[in-house]
Chain A
Amino acid sequence: RKEVEQDPGPFNVPEGATVAFNCTYSNSASQSFFWYRQDCRKEPKLLMSVYSSGNEDGRFTAQLNRASQYISLLIRDSKLSDSATYLCVVNGGYNKLIFGAGTRLAVHP
Chain B
Amino acid sequence: NAGVTQTPKFQVLKTGQSMTLQCAQDMNHEYMSWYRQDPGMGLRLIHYSVGAGITDQGEVPNGYNVSRSTTEDFPLRLLSAAPSQTSVYFCASRLRSRNYGYTFGSGTRLTVV
Contact = CB atoms under 8 A, between A and B. Distances in A.
A45 B104 contact: yes
A101 interface: yes
What's the interface size class on A, roughly? 20 to 34
B58 interface: yes
A53 interface: no
A95 B40 CA distance: 23
B45 A101 contact: no
Interface stretch (B12-20, B62-70, B74-82, B95-103): B95-103
B85 to A, nearest CB: 19
B48 interface: yes
A76 B78 CA distance: 44
Interface residues of B, number: 22
Does more than half of chain B's interface fall in helix, strand or loop, or is it mixed?
A: strand
Given A95-B33, A96-B48, A97-B33, A87 B102 contact: no
Given A32-B99, A43-B106, A91-B98, A96 B43 contact: no
A36 B105 contact: no
A31 B98 contact: yes
A99 B43 contact: yes
A59 interface: no
A69 interface: no
Given A89-B101, A91-B98, A102 B31 contact: no
Interface of B: 31, 33, 35, 40-45, 48, 50, 58, 90, 98-99, 101-107
